[in-house]
Amino acid sequence: MLTSDIVGKLRCTAAGSAAGIARGLDTGTTKIGPVWEGDVGDTVDFEALRQRAVHSLFEHLESMCVGAVAVDHNARIAWMDEKYKALLGVPGDPRGRPVEEVIPNSQLRRVIDSGQPQPLDIMEFDDRSFVVTRMPLFGIDGSIIGAIGFVLFDRAEYLRPLVRKYEKMQEELARTQQELAHERRAKYSFSQFLGASESIREIKRLGRRAAQMDSTVLLLGETGTGKELLAQAIHSASPRASKPFVGVNVAAIPETLLEAEFFGVAPGAYTGADRRHREGKFQLANGGTLFLDEIGDMPLPVQAKLLRVLQEREIEPLGSNKVVRVDVRIIAATSRDLHALVREKQFRADLYYRLNVVPITLPPLRDRPEDIESIADRILEQLAIQQGTPPRELLESAVQVLRDYDWPGNVRELYNTLERVVALTDAPILTAPHIRSVLPGMQHPAGASVLPLAAGARPLQEVLHAAERHAIAAALEEANGVKARAAKLLGISRASLYERMVTLGLGATQ
Ligand SMILES: Nc1ncnc2c1ncn2[C@@H]1O[C@H](COP(=O)(O)OP(=O)(O)O)[C@@H](O)[C@H]1O
Ligand SMILES: [Mg+2]
Q: In this predicted structure, what is the pLDDT of residue 457?
A: 63
* Average pLDDT of the residues in 53-64: 85
How many angstroms does the Cα of residue 228 sit away from the middle of ligand 1?
7
Q: In this predicted structure, what is the pLDDT of residue 149?
A: 95
Q: Packing angle between helix 46-64 and helix 2-9, nearest 10 degrees?
A: 130
Atom of ligand 1 nearest to the CA of 362: 22
Pocket residue to mutate for ligand 1, from 190, 200, 217, 229, most atoms within 8 A of Cβ? 229
Rounded to two decimals, what is the model's pTM? 0.59
* Alpha-carbon span 442 to 237, nearest angstrom: 41
* Average pLDDT of the residues in 172-197: 84
* Alpha-carbon span 104 to 123, nearest angstrom: 10
* Ligand 1 near 368 CB (within 6 A): no
How many angstroms does the Cα of residue 224 sit away from the middle of ligand 2?
6
**Tell me: the pLDDT tens digits for 148-178?**
999 988 877 777 788 788 878 888 888 888 8
Q: In this predicted structure, what is the pLDDT of residue 105?
A: 93
**Tell me: the pLDDT tens digits for 263-298?**
998 876 665 545 567 889 999 999 999 999 999 989
Q: In this predicted structure, what is the pLDDT of residue 12?
A: 37
Q: In this predicted structure, what is the pLDDT of residue 458?
A: 64
- Region of 431 (left: φ > 0; alpha: ψ -120 to 50; beta: rest) is beta
Q: What is residue 114's DSSP assignment?
A: H
| Ion ligand 2 — residues with CB < 5 Å | 228
**Burial readout 428-440 (b: 16 or more C-beta within 10 A, e: otherwise):** ebbbbbbbbbbbe
Phi and psi torsions of 145, nearest 5°: -115, 0
CB 139, CB 7: distance < 8 Å: no
What's the gap between Cα 368 and its chain centre?
38
How many angstroms does the Cα of residue 206 sit away from the middle of ligand 1?
17
Phi and psi torsions of 156, nearest 5°: -65, -10
Element (H, E) at 400: helix 396-404
The more confidently predicted of residues 243 and 37 is 243
Q: What percentage of the chain reaches a pLDDT higher than 70?
A: 85
Most confident of 63-72, 316-325, 500-509: 63-72
Per 3-state DSSP, what percentage of the chain is helix, strand, and coil (rounded to 5)? 50, 15, 35
Name the residue at shortest CA distance from atom 23 of ligand 1.
Answer: 224
* Alpha-carbon span 415 to 37, nearest angstrom: 90
Nearest ligand to the C-alpha of residue 383?
1
Pocket residue to mutate for ligand 1, from 220, 250, 411, most atoms within 8 A of Cβ? 411
Find, among 255, 270, 337, the residue nearest to 303 by Cα: 255
Average confidence score pLDDT of the chain: 84
Residue at 216: amino acid letter: T
How many angstroms does the Cα of residue 107 sit away from the middle of ligand 1?
60
Please give the angle made by the CA atoms of 376, 393 and 391, to the nearest 5 degrees.
85
What's the gap between Cα 52 and its chain centre?
57
31-35, 360-364, 437-441: the lowest-pLDDT one:
31-35
* Ligand 1 near 226 CB (within 6 A): yes
Q: What is the dihedral of CA 485, 490, 495, 499, to 10 degrees?
A: -130
* Average pLDDT of the residues in 46-61: 86
17-31, 67-81, 256-270: the lowest-pLDDT one:
17-31
- Identify any residues that bridge with 358 across adjacent strands, giving them in sequence order: 217
**Tell me: the pLDDT tens digits for 356-367?**
999 999 999 999
CB 35, CB 45: distance < 8 Å: yes
Atom of ligand 1 nearest to the CA of 222: 22
* Ligand 1 near 375 CB (within 6 A): yes
* Ligand 1 near 223 CB (within 6 A): yes
How many angstroms does the Cα of residue 293 sit away from the middle of ligand 1?
13
Q: What percentage of the chain reaches a pLDDT higher than 90?
A: 48
How many residues can be counted in the chain?
A: 510
Q: In this predicted structure, what is the pLDDT of residue 275?
A: 58
* Alpha-carbon span 193 to 234, nearest angstrom: 11
Given a cut of 60, whether residue 46 has pLDDT beyond it is: yes
* Ligand 1 near 475 CB (within 6 A): no
In sign, the C-alpha dihedral spanning 94, 98, 103, 106 is positive
**Tell me: the pLDDT tens digits for 387-437?**
898 889 999 999 999 999 999 889 999 999 999 999 888 889 999 999 998
CB 334, CB 359: distance < 8 Å: no
